[in-house]
């Protein structure tokens, strides 16, 4: 792939690492960054060697959200055509691979939405989360009004969105927005521990699990249970299911093939 200007995209073993790289702008997401993020996520999706994706930020922020300097030149007509605004979040949610957010500081607006779109969120103790879009005359546009209520409930979501207030990593953990809070110097160690746990699992079984849990957030219980049963059955058509069951019974390490 060609060089990126606003992100760093690396593949190490079976892991794709995406670092938002506009530290002087607190990794605010401009049009170029969103397009590069889309390219990186699409590449990670297509690469069968990539089994886990990690997203983090350079410097002292994860992402402070959209680059407000672009707002004056945007019109409603522009936004109708700009599907790339929500495309990164859709790719993360729909990608059949676990995506981890390593939140190393501010995660505001589109940065908060980016983190919430990920499957697992690990944050440093100094991280902060918020949807402050009302302060610049808009509402969340990357899923904040839809995802946040599902995580923290209607009342807390409305308070956060209506007031634009920030919350600490500890409060985000208490509300169920994130998985873990660790000292800043331990963040990447904890992320790598999670990566290693995920790499022990079958990628195809994890894909089924992600699909089933996502379905629970967008449909009725009846339809969700039907989806779960269908995917449960599909597990038994995979080589990995047979290998994992056999290894469990024989008390030996499995030879996972991803098939």
Mind telling me the catalytic residues?
Answer: 113, 133
Q: How far apart are CA 255 and CA 60, in angstroms?
A: 40
Q: Which helix (H) or strand (E) holds 247?
A: helix 239-250
H or E stretch at 173: helix 169-175
Residue 26 has φ and ψ, to the nearest 5°, of 55, 35
Q: Distance between CA 160 and CA 180 in Å, rounded?
A: 21
**At 102, is the secondary structure helix, strand, or coil?**
strand
Q: How many CB atoms lie within 10 A of CB 59?
A: 16
The helix (run of H) or strand (run of E) holding residue 158 is: helix 154-163
Cβ distance 254 to 238 under 8 Å?
no
- Please, are residues 100 and 65 in contact by the beta-carbon 8 Å criterion? no
């Amino acid at each position: 792939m060609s060089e990126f200007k606003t992100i760093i995209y690396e593949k190490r073993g079976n892991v794709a690492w995406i670092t938002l790289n506009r530290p002087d702008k607190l990794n605010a997401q401009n049009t170029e960054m969103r397009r590069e993020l889309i390219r990186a996520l699409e590449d990670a999706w297509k690469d069968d060697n990539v089994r886990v994706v990690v997203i983090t930020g350079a410097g002292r922020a994860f992402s402070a959200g959209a680059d407000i300097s672009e707002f004056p030149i945007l019109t409603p007509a522009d936004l109708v055509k700009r599907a790339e605004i929500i495309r990164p979040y859709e790719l993360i949610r729909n990608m059949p691979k676990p995506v981890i957010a390593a939140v190393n500081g501010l995660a505001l607006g589109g940065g908060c939405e980016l983190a919430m779109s990920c499957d697992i969120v690990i944050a440093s103790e100094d991280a902060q989360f918020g949807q402050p879009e009302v302060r610049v005359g808009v509402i969340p546009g990357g899923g904040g009004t839809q995802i946040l209520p599902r995580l923290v409930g209607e009342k807390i979501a409305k308070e956060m969105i209506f007031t634009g207030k920030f919350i600490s990593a500890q409060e985000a953990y208490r509300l169920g927005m994130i998985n873990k809070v660790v000292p800043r110097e331990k963040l990447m160690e904890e992320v790598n521990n999670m990566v290693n746990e995920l790499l022990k699992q079958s990628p195809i079984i994890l894909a089924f699990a992600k699909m089933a849990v996502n379905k629970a957030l967008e449909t009725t219980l009846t339809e969700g249970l039907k989806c779960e049963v269908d995917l449960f059955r599909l597990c038994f058509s995979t080589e990995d299911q047979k290998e994992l069951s056999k290894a469990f019974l024989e008390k030996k390490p499995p030879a996972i093939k991803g098939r």
